Structure formats: C-alpha cells, structure tokens
Amino acid sequence: MKNLKQLVLLVLALSILSSAQGTAQVGKNNGLLNPDLASAAEMAALPSLNDALAKNIVARRPFVSMVEVNSLLSPSLTKEQFAQLYGRLFLPLNLNKASRDEILLVPGVGARMAHEFEEYRPYRSIAQFRKEIGKYVDDKEVARLEQYVFVPINLNTASDEDILSIPGMGKRMLHEFKEYRPYKAIEQFRKEIGKYVDQKEVARLERYVTIQ
C-alpha cells in the first residue's frame, strides 16, 4: 500500500513537471535579434547591413510582420544576402495568422514545411508547435525554427512565464498586464498599457496578445 501511494505521488509530480515545461508562448531565442528591439549598432554589425539600413529599420519600427521588414530591405539586398541576414535577424511570426509569404521568409523553410506550419492551426502553445513539427525534423531543427515563431498569449489567463516570454517584457510591465484583468476588448489593453508606454510600444506588444 505504501509503495502504491509513493507511485501515485511520483506520477502526479511528473505530470505537474511535464505540464509546467514549454508553456512560454514565444519560442526560445538562441541569439536571433529582433528588429523591433535591437539597437542600430547591433544591426549594423550583422551581415549585409550597414549604418544607414540599421537606422532605417529603427526609424520604421514597430513592424506589423516580417513581410514589412523584408519590403523595407528588398531594394538593398540580394536573395543570398537575405538568407544570411535572416539567420541572425527576424521578427517572430504569429503561428496562427502569418501568411504563407511570411513563413517562407524563415531560413530553410520551403513550401512543404510552410504547409506543416499551417496545417496545425490554431496553435494553443509553443509546446504544440514542438510536438507537431517534431514529426518532420529532429530536435535541433525544431529548436532552430522555434526562434522564429510565437503563439499569442491570452491576456486574461496567461501565466507569468507566458507573459514574460514576450520579447522586451519585464516584471514591471508584467504587473501592468495582470492589473487590468479581465480585459473585455483589445481597445482596453491599448488604453491601459498606453498609460505606461508610447503608442509604438503598445502596438509592438499588441502583436503578442489576444483576448478570449
């Protein structure tokens, strides 16, 4: 009986641990710069970019999607330069809304993999992305692809870990996100968060959230 009780407790503990892993909604970043957050100096040091292009990116942000970044840079870079640059700089794409054109900007993603990205919509978590895409590529490639994607967080139910996974998010803003729960509409989010940051930053943060 004692052994059975210990076994039940072990199973429960493993279940809790498993559910706690991989809950963040923005993919784990392994050094990929975000064009909405990186400094001009950081971007100017990247392959194919220079001071003028980096400053142009800073002046135009925040970006709605990576397609917008790509359009800004298109007159200046070749296809080969884009492929090299996007291995170092990329705006995370919304797994549930990104267009086929945006998905295809991810280095190494062709039409077949773009189809797999789309097939499992709507995504509920990054953990789901890892599981589904892991059917087609190994763990190393899943980890690489994960850097390029996010699943919008539910403003009313997201955990602290989920919220803090948003690029550029700190504990002070985490408090503000939670303070105004329950949110009734995205307009309320804009109004309340707009008390602490400017409209550009509100627009940047809005990409990562949803209200359900």
Instruction: Give residues with Cβ within 8 angstroms of 144, minimum separation 6.
Output: 30, 108
Q: Within a 13 Å sphere around the CA of 27, how many CA atoms are in the beta-carbon half?
A: 26
Average pLDDT of the residues in 103-124: 97
- Helix, strand, coil share of the chain (percent; to 5): 50, 5, 45
Residue 158: helix, strand or coil by DSSP? coil
High-pLDDT (> 70) share of the chain, %: 89
By CB atoms closer than 10 A (0-12, 13-18, 19+), residue 46 is middle
* pLDDT class of 8 with cuts at 50, 70, 90: very low
Question: 32 with 147: CB under 8 angstroms?
Answer: yes
What tens digit of pLDDT does each residue of 143-193 get? 999 999 999 999 999 999 999 999 999 999 999 999 999 999 999 999 999
Domain count for the chain, please give it.
Answer: 2
Residue 63's H or E segment, with its range, is: none
From 191, 114, 108, 143, select the one nearest 28 (Cα to Cα): 143
Q: Final residue of a domain: which of 98, 120, 150?
A: 150
Say if residue 47 is in the same domain as residue 139. Answer: yes
Say if residue 94 is in the same domain as residue 158. Answer: no
Say if residue 128 is in the same domain as residue 57. Answer: yes
Say if residue 126 is in the same domain as residue 186. Answer: no
Task: Tell me if 32 is assigned to some domain.
Answer: no
What tens digit of pLDDT does each residue of 55-74 get? 999 999 999 999 999 999 99
Say if residue 169 is in the same domain as residue 195. Answer: yes
Say if residue 143 is in the same domain as residue 165. Answer: no
**CA 205 to mean position of chain CA atoms:** 11
Sign for the CA dihedral angle at 43, 44, 45, 47 comes to: positive
Say if residue 143 is in the same domain as residue 198. Answer: no
CATH number for the domain that contains residue 134: 1.10.150
Q: Final residue of a domain: which of 101, 133, 150?
A: 150
Task: Tell me if 111 is assigned to some domain.
Answer: yes
User: Residues in the chain, how many?
Assistant: 212
pLDDT at 88 over 80: yes
Say if residue 142 is in the same domain as residue 165. Answer: no
* pLDDT class of 212 with cuts at 50, 70, 90: confident
* pLDDT class of 23 with cuts at 50, 70, 90: low
pLDDT at 17 over 50: no
Q: Cα separation of 47 and 74, whole Å?
A: 15
Rg value, the chain, Cα? 19
Residue 95 belongs to domain spanning: 40-150
Please tell me the predicted confidence (pLDDT) of residue 55. 98
CA-to-CA dists, residue 146 to 65, 107, 117, 139, 179, angstroms: 17, 12, 11, 10, 30
Q: b/e map of 168-204 (b: 16 or more CB within 10 Å)?
A: ebeeebbeebeebeebeeeeebeeebeeeeeeebbbb
The residue ranking higher by pLDDT, 40 or 14, is 40
